Chain A
Amino acid sequence: DGGITQSPKYLFRKEGQNVTLSCEQNLNHDAMYWYRQDPGQGLRLIYYSQIVNDFQKGDIAEGYSVSREKKESFPLTVTSAQKNPTAFYLCASSPRGTGPSNEQYFGPGTRLTVT
């Protein structure tokens, strides 16, 4: 059963701690993305990667870091530098390119709460 998995579904952390969100896909897609969604808002792009060992900043990359060492994995680290880390985080992938015309497949999301 192909798809994108994100773990955990809910994550709680204390302020000042770094936390890493997992994203794995078995769709053999080249491109992967991380988005952040705040209540009642749309999705905002944090980072994206078109190919292994390459990634680019999105609109709100400050306070976040990523790696793309394997095609199927694109973990996101929320660092202590991120001022308002509490949000719903969504990972996505697309077969080839990273523009809007490429259909994206989304994971179930991770809800991060930092207190």
Chain B
Amino acid sequence: LAKTTQPISMDSYEGQEVNITCSHNNIATNDYITWYQQFPSQGPRFIIQGYKTKVTNEVASLFIPADRKSSTLSLPRVSLSDTAVYYCLVGDGGPARQLTFGSGTQLTVLP
């Protein structure tokens, strides 16, 4: 099972770009990288998913280098409402036993 490592916390200021990196050294060939966002006392919400190179949607970008041993979630021009915990998950469509959310990264956006 691919284990992931993320920073425990990060601070940023409104309007800045934030990059959160996730390490997954033993990622398997069929594994995808998926990021979720969770606000306090709510369920997580899917943000973005990728397999290689770069993926962009209306919320974020996901950068994955060629060796796929890490990935970076990029949030452009953050606002106070982006303060949340961000989780990186790695795995394929197989059994749910791969589902490990870990402790995530607490992002705090300051005014």
On A, residues with C-beta under 8 Å from B are 4, 31, 33, 35, 40-45, 48, 50, 56, 58-59, 88, 90-92, 96-109, 111
For residue A4, which residues in chain B have a CB less than 8 angstroms away from its CB? 43
- Asked if B32 and A101 make an inter-chain contact with CB atoms under 8 angstroms apart, the answer reads yes
**Apart from the given pairs A43-B101, A90-B43, A99-B99, 12 other A-B contacts in the complex at a CB distance below 8 Å:** A33-B96, A43-B87, A45-B96, A58-B99, A59-B97, A97-B93, A99-B94, A101-B32, A103-B49, A105-B46, A108-B42, A108-B43
- Asked if B96 and A99 make an inter-chain contact with CB atoms under 8 angstroms apart, the answer reads yes
Cβ contact of A106, chosen from B34, B44, B89, B104, cutoff 8 A: B44
- Asked if B41 and A109 make an inter-chain contact with CB atoms under 8 angstroms apart, the answer reads yes
In Å, the complex CA distance between A98 and B36 comes to 16
Quick check: is B73 within 8 A (CB to CB) of the other chain? no
Which residues of chain B from 49 to 93 have a CB within 8 Å of any chain A CB? Answer: 49, 87, 89-93
Given known pairs A42-B104, A100-B89, A101-B91, the reply for A109 and B42 (CB within 8 Å) is: yes
For residue B103, which residues in chain A have a CB less than 8 angstroms away from its CB? 40-42
On B, residues with C-beta under 8 Å from A are 31-32, 34, 36, 41-46, 49, 87, 89-104
- Asked if A56 and B96 make an inter-chain contact with CB atoms under 8 angstroms apart, the answer reads yes
In Å, the complex CA distance between A31 and B102 comes to 21
- Asked if A100 and B41 make an inter-chain contact with CB atoms under 8 angstroms apart, the answer reads no
- Asked if B43 and A92 make an inter-chain contact with CB atoms under 8 angstroms apart, the answer reads yes
- Asked if A111 and B41 make an inter-chain contact with CB atoms under 8 angstroms apart, the answer reads yes
For residue A97, which residues in chain B have a CB less than 8 angstroms away from its CB? 93-94
For residue A92, which residues in chain B have a CB less than 8 angstroms away from its CB? 43
- Asked if A98 and B102 make an inter-chain contact with CB atoms under 8 angstroms apart, the answer reads no
Cβ contact of B93, chosen from A33, A42, A99, cutoff 8 A: A99
Q: Which 10 A-B pairs have the closest CB atoms?
A: A106-B43, A100-B91, A98-B96, A101-B32, A42-B101, A43-B101, A97-B93, A48-B96, A99-B93, A99-B94
- Asked if B92 and A100 make an inter-chain contact with CB atoms under 8 angstroms apart, the answer reads yes
Cβ contact of B92, chosen from A41, A101, A105, A109, cutoff 8 A: A101
In Å, the complex CA distance between A53 and B39 comes to 33
